[in-house]
Amino acid sequence: MSIAEMPAGGKSVADKYNRLSSVYDLMEWPMEFLFFSRWRKEVLSGLGGRVLEVGVGTGKNLKYYPPGCLIIGIDNSEGMLKKARKKAEGMNNVTLLLMDAEHLEFPDNTFDYVVTTFVLCSIPDPVKALKEMRRVLKPSGEMINLEHMRSSNRFISRFEDLINPIIVSMTGIHVNRKTVENVVKAGFAIKDVENLLLKDVFRKIRSKP
């Protein structure tokens, strides 16, 4: 998640993740153990070709990619990338780069897949970043997003709206973003949306450019 530069509570999101990087995996461990690791494996184990992972964070996804994938992972937090580099040791098919998701430094039509996992909540302008992802994705390619977002359930969404200012101030994460709508705004055609947890707070989105 940690690829933004927007000031939030006096610090950019990248600054916040640099500070949290040493304890980030521990903070997420309960959800990782119960849900996230299974979702990552299900989504990533069948991929191939050139893959761009936007917001690689501490590298939790890296072990789930097939050996035949050529993976480029980007993040805007050097602290998170430092953790990811340790996980990537010995993986000759992985390249990790410090980069802003809203300004991807790749040519058009470069990747077979673009992947985000719990990232679009923290990018300052998610639609701008998604348009960049569409630009670098091949016309035949696919984008896969594992994300948490604003629920269509009015009680859950009200709670998300209530706590969002606090979460943004602490971490830069927005818990009430309308991510499916943002994917469409960026010019993607939705192939499938799967609800995963807490009704539709956690979802898997598959789309084409």
DSSP-derived secondary structure for 160-206:
HHHHHHHHHHHHS--TT--HHHHHHHTTPEEEEEEEEETTTTEEEEE
Over residues 141-191, the pLDDT tens digits come to 999 999 999 999 999 999 999 999 999 988 889 999 999 999 999 999 999
Mean pLDDT of the chain: 92
Tokens of 139: 């016309």
Which CATH number is 7-208's, of 3.40.50.410, 3.40.50.150, 2.60.40.10, 3.40.47.10?
3.40.50.150
Average confidence (pLDDT) over 106-134: 97
Burial of 154 (0-12, 13-18, 19+ CB in 10 A): exposed
Strand partners, 75: 98
Rounded Cα distance, 1 and 120, in Å: 7
Over residues 97-110, the pLDDT tens digits come to 999 999 999 999 99
- Structural domain boundaries in the chain: 7-208
Q: Say if residue 85's pLDDT is above 60.
A: yes
Q: Say if residue 60's pLDDT is above 60.
A: yes
Strand partners, 94: 71
AA letter at 152? S
The SS3 call for residue 108 is: coil
Nearest by Cα to 132 from 205, 194, 182, 96: 182
